[in-house]
Structure 1
Amino acid sequence: MDNQEQRPIPPKPAAPPTAGLPHVAVPTDPTAAPPQKHGRAVSVLLKALFVVVLLGVVGGLVWLASWLGSETAAPPADPGSGVVEVSPTPLPTPLALPREGVTPPDYRLGDCFKDFDPEALRSTVVACDTPHSAQLVAVFRYPGNNSYPGRETLAAKALEACQASRLAPAANDFTLNFQRAYPSGTSWESGDRRVDCYVTADGGNVIDASVLP
């Protein structure tokens, strides 16, 4: 029998101490970059600032559009047609002259009148190269559905028509005045919508040329 020596089994070595060692977190993906929390915060702040500025700009534009709309939507003080006629339109077939007993509604821009009376119900239209005392140089027409605007408004519109008239150099050869004519309340009710501007001569039938270009 062989002699056998029994030796005690040595104890397993104790695990190395871990207390006091720094703890290092190991990322699950070694290639992944650490999170950039600061950069994200700056990006969010810039986006929020952009939205605030954009809303301010949009609000300002809306207010400006509303203000301009309120300005342009204001009703005009004088709701006429907006056009003062100062250039005569030639007829395809000129009317024979002189013409006696022409009523005011039939006066045409550029007509010349002998012995003119702006309050007369009839006048004599003559050729402008023959002696006459007045010529119709500007016309303004109100729409037929307008209500009577009042005497002062009509007088102001007639003055505007006279100021818009364009006279030829021949006008400098005569001593002329502007004469305004506009509807009364009664004539307006009967359909008169014309505001007229004439040039007239105080000395009677002394004009012998058209004063329009």
Structure 2
Amino acid sequence: MPTTPSPFLTPSDRSNRSGAGTVLARQGALLAGWVRRQGPKRVGAAVAVLVVLGLAIWWAASSLGGGTTPSAGENTPAPTASSSAPASRGALPLEGVNALDFRLGDCFKDFDPEAPQSTVVACGTGHSAQLVAIEAYAAADSYPGRDPLKQKALDACKAAPLTEKSGDYVLSYKLAYPSSTSWDKGDRRVDCYVVADTGNVIMESLLR
């Protein structure tokens, strides 16, 4: 079964350390054979050499291993994904996208503001709605009530920067905001859509 390498050792660090230990052990075995051949007169000298060799092995192992463990304050956190760069959802069109996963500028085919899911399409293809504004309350905020939520969504619609092409279509605003139930589940989004009630007639993005 493979073992998990130490997080403080790179592959080169591990190979260098084990390699050095193998070479010094072989030298020790050769020296021990030489001692047996020399007889008792030189045993004392051989013992002294073995002591020196043991210290050399200890020093080599300490030197090679010492540089692999960070000192206090050298640890750096693992990199994390940036929240400002959402992961790709794949190629469009995408069916069954949850309303809380809609992104600013998304365009929708056969849009139903009451449906919990919609089909996201490329804005250069026929679509009936586009998400043009998103506002969010803080997670710690208390439920403000239906009327304040509706007003916040309407204000977001009025502030949305639409292109001049929006004047080529008959559009209406559709608002989406949390109910008290969805608020309790963490929903803090207030969304504004521009919608063409005549179907998938919009052929470009209407958001600057």
Distance across 2 between alignment mates of 1:173 and 1:92:
33
| Aligned counterpart, 1:112 | 107
Distance across 2 between alignment mates of 1:168 and 1:94:
26
* Aligned counterpart for 1:168 among listed residues 152, 163, 167: 163
- Structure with higher Rg: it is 1
* Aligned counterpart for 1:97 among listed residues 67, 89, 92: 92
Task: Please say if 1:182 is aligned against 2:177.
Answer: yes
Q: Secondary structure at the match of 1:183?
A: coil
Instruction: Give runs of aligned pairs for residues 115-126 of structure 1, distance below 5 A.
Output: 115-126=110-121
Give the structure-1-normalised TM-score: 0.56
Distance across 2 between alignment mates of 1:169 and 1:94:
29
Provide Cα deviations, 1:151-196, integer angstroms capped at 9, x if missing partner: 0000010011001101011111111111111111111111110000
Q: Secondary structure at the match of 1:148?
A: coil
| Aligned counterpart, 2:192 | 197
Task: Provide the identity percentage.
Answer: 59
| Aligned counterpart, 2:131 | 136
Provide Cα deviations, 1:91-123, integer angstroms capped at 9, x if missing partner: 685741000100011000000001111111110
Distance across 2 between alignment mates of 1:211 and 1:197:
13
Distance across 1 between alignment mates of 2:173 and 2:129:
9
Shift of the alpha carbon at 1:147? 0.9
**Aligned-pair Cα RMSD in Å:** 1.6
Instruction: Decide which structure has greater helix share.
Output: 2
Distance across 2 between alignment mates of 1:121 and 1:138:
18
Q: Secondary structure at the match of 2:161?
A: coil
> Which amino acid in structure 2 is aligned with residue 105 of structure 1?
L
Distance across 1 between alignment mates of 2:113 and 2:87:
28
Distance across 2 between alignment mates of 1:93 and 1:181:
24
Cα distance change, pair 125–149 in 1 and its aligned pair in 2 (3 A)? same
Q: Secondary structure at the match of 1:199?
A: strand
Q: Any gaps of 5 or more consecutive residues in structure 1?
A: 1-88
Cα distance change, pair 92–191 in 1 and its aligned pair in 2 (3 A)? closer
Aligned length: 125
> Which amino acid in structure 1 is aligned with residue 182 of structure 2?
S
Q: Any gaps of 5 or more consecutive residues in structure 2?
A: 1-83
Distance across 2 between alignment mates of 1:188 and 1:167:
29
